[in-house]
Structure 1
Amino acid sequence: MSSKRLDALVSDDGFPAALASVTTRDGRVRNYTAGVGDPKTHSAVPVDGQVRIGGNTKVFTAVTVLQLVGEGRIGLDEPVETYLPGLIRGDGIDGRNITVRQILQHTSGLPDYTNTFTKGLLPYRHTYFPKPGDETIREPHPHGYHHDDPKAPLTDVTVEDPSQGWAAGQMISTPSDVNRFFSALIGGRLLPTAQLKEMRTTVPAPALGNGVRYGLGLTGTPLSCGGVAWGHGGDFPGYHTSDAVTQDGRAATIAVTELPSSPTQLQHLTAGIDTALCR
């Protein structure tokens, strides 16, 4: 990762702000920012500021479930009906025929609810799960923006109730905390060996990118320098995060303050993660 590449996300791709955190093999952390935290006031982007991390919440959720699996309190191949009797019914969907594994692996056949939402892990003094109705972001943060028409002015969507995201997208964190979480996960500090192996047992997920595979709430992406990077990424109105870690301790997270609206923007974000991990 370089400040030049992050600057390009603002100057070339049009994101109001971009912030990143990179951890090297030897544990050194470098933080970067580009753009402005608020285009109206031209305030600086907070270094390692808080952002809404969207779908990365799914990984925290999956880790919690797998911790319960390790304790023998949940069975991966048990039907959802065992734990939520009568809840999943209708339109040809039956919780008696859907397993916990399929829910975590996104192979259950359940429709995307956005179209029709923990047990202690490690102390991440800047990561939290806001309560329903808590519309603010507690610590220094860049504003998040949205606009449907590229020619229209940006709409500030920073203040928003995130509860519609719940276990799939409600959390708030910083780029460095996201790196710490994924590094602890892949480093074997959050799950027993058997459950981490299950989490990294994947199926093809071509919709997420070339060669990408999906495990139990975790993506595996091939790197240009060889090997696999593990992560997830997340979207929430006003914010996008791309993130990945490697088995040997490299980690990178990039956050931007508007949802990507083109394949080119997504490619540049993916390339930024690859560069940070492969340089």
Structure 2
Amino acid sequence: MNNEEFFNQYSDFVNDEYLNMVEQSSAPATPASGELRLYAGDDGKWHVKDDAGIVATLGELSDEWIDVADGATMDFDLSSNTNKLKFLCAALTDDRTFTISNPSEGYVFLIRIVQDSTGTRIPTWFEAASEVVTITIAAPGVITTSFDMKTGTPVKFTTTDTLPTGITAGTQYYWIRTGATTGNVATTKANALAGTQITTSGSQAGVHTMGVQIIWPEDTVPTLTTSKHAYDDFAFIVHAEAQITGQIISQDL
């Protein structure tokens, strides 16, 4: 984070027209009553100490790449004190499954995917969120979830046994919001926006899980560059719980 970004993000803590940084060999003393001391620690983070001596950590000093080792499953951990992260994947040596952990509303992150000397490596993208849901046999079928999602959000279902007729495991559907914790699904985004719901029938068994998918432009999952040693950059925004949008930044670099 540079000084301008810091000022924009933490201007509420600064009363002076200018911010003067003074190098010290140790953390600053507790400030006088009603004041705050702002400092950069040797841990690479911004800190604020209040007049009671309590220290709050604000954010990272650097936006350097975070290395993610190659592996069958590659996780992008968003548990950081900054809301802007850049992940650099090691060269993929096979098809991979991507996951994320600790997403928070307002976070922005970039992922650079690198092909190895063979190329043609394809990742399975992470889901924005997933949880166990209930589905009724009805016209239309009603799904109950804790996620409050906007109409048109893409979702997929898995089950430990049998889903109701009308819903197929692994097929992408589109959410139709009927309430904060309930909704129906449609076969296309256009149908979802038009309110054309799926009717469920037959019987069901087992535990059903709904996975909320990334929202891509034009509702199209991007095709990666698969040539040898190529890399592609993708940016993501966590808008809310179970709402992540993705965008191609650059390809075939």
Give TM-score, length-normalised by structure 2: 0.25
Question: Which structure shows the higher strand fraction?
Answer: 2
Question: Which structure shows the higher helix fraction?
Answer: 1
Larger RCO (alpha carbons 8 Å, 6+ apart): 1
Give TM-score, length-normalised by structure 1: 0.23
Name the larger-Rg structure: 2
